[in-house]
Amino acid sequence: MGEKNRVTIDKDLKDLIPRYLENRNKDIIKIKEALAQNDIKKIGVVGHQLAGNAGSYGFDQLGNIGKRMENAANAQNIEEITKCLQEIESYMQNLEVIFE
């Protein structure tokens, strides 16, 4: 572990990235709450949004996890949802953004 997820982002997005990442941390909380309430539909929505917006900001790996989470929610696969949640948390904790 301990290896950073280095992502190079266009410097023109520098002002937008902190809020974007803050919102992704809020998504983690939303997913955990939805899991606790067994609200699989909400998890699917969060996964779908993540799949759709992460790539636009240069976070392709995060988008891929979001797509997997959306698919897992559609399949009602709690085990896969939990795995995706752990991957998102790990990704965010080890994220290093480089602006160029």
Mean pLDDT of the chain: 96
Average pLDDT, integer, range 21-28: 97
The residue type found at 28 is I
pLDDT tens-digit readout, 34-72? 999 999 999 999 999 999 999 999 999 999 999 999 999
pLDDT tens-digit readout, 13-23? 999 999 999 99
Q: What is the pLDDT of residue 3?
A: 79
Tell me the residue range of the domain where 53 lies.
5-99
Question: Does residue 1 carry a pLDDT above 90?
Answer: no
What is this structure's pTM? Answer: 0.94
Q: How many domains does the chain have?
A: 1
Q: What is the pLDDT of residue 33?
A: 98
The domain spanning residue 28 has which CATH number? 1.20.120
Q: Which two tokens stand for residue 4?
A: 């950073």
Q: What sections of the chain are H helices per DSSP?
A: 17-36, 40-53, 60-74, 78-93
Q: What is the pLDDT of residue 34?
A: 98
Question: Which 8-state DSSP code applies to residue 33?
Answer: H
Polymer length in residues for the chain? 100
